[in-house]
Amino acid sequence: MTPAVSETGQTRNDVSLSGTFLSSPGGLMRSALVTGGGSGIGAAVAKSLSAAGYGVVCVGRRLERVEEIAAEISDAGGRALARAVDVRSPDQVDRAVADTVAEFGRLDLLVNNAGVFRKDELVALSDDDWLDTIGANLNGAFYCARAAARQMLSQEPRHGARGQVINVNSGAGLRGYPTGAAYSASKFGLLGLSDTMRQELSERLIKVTDLVVAAMVQSELSNRRQVVRLPASVVGTLVTALAAVEGAGVVTRLDLGQLPAE
């Protein structure tokens, strides 16, 4: 890979793709860190936010995937960074937040979207599958939220807020189901994390929103072809709309779709 050159002339061995982009009042464009940004919902969110004028940092385990999304954003006239990040690693998460601030001056929005889906009956579920699911879906969300909140608390408010965290959840966070012990436990835990974050951070001007995607969405985590799915772009549009609410107003939870009756 050819090293990228930043606007300050420094050479970096990462991906920094720039096109024509919108600036926010004060000279700094709004910035968003999107986890699981290499495919599905995360990729759709990153593209939608970029179209709304955000500088976007796409992170995921597979660098080539987030590089592709960053390149698409650049081709469309936006500005993006791509980072290989395993959200189960606090150090990698902290570096991603630091890179966001170094590139865009601040962090306005975290979209906690990264996740894995491992399913098996309780008695057959392996330790590795349990730990991997909890590690990515809950521990990873915690590490990202903690790093983002620490950064946001150090920032001056802009448009009535220091920042916002949107946690992408699932219908499995509202009700368990057979073979879903690990996934449901991780998503129930994410709802509890979000509720605690709101109580701790709202008065300090950090907004926290749960986006519960109970509808089947086109993504790598859902591959049952016989089910009619919602395009991931719809979720991207909703996230962008949630982020556009300025001042003290915040949607604390938005449920997308209905859980099946059985």
Give me the active site residues, please.
183
Distances (CA, A) of 184 to 37, 69, 197, 212, 224: 22, 29, 20, 13, 18
Per-residue DSSP letters for 12-32?
A: ESSEEEE-S----TTS---EE
Q: What is the DSSP letter of 219?
A: B
Q: Strands 15-18 and 163-170, how do they pair?
A: unpaired
Task: Of 166, 192, 179, give the one whose Cα is nearest residue 244.
Answer: 166
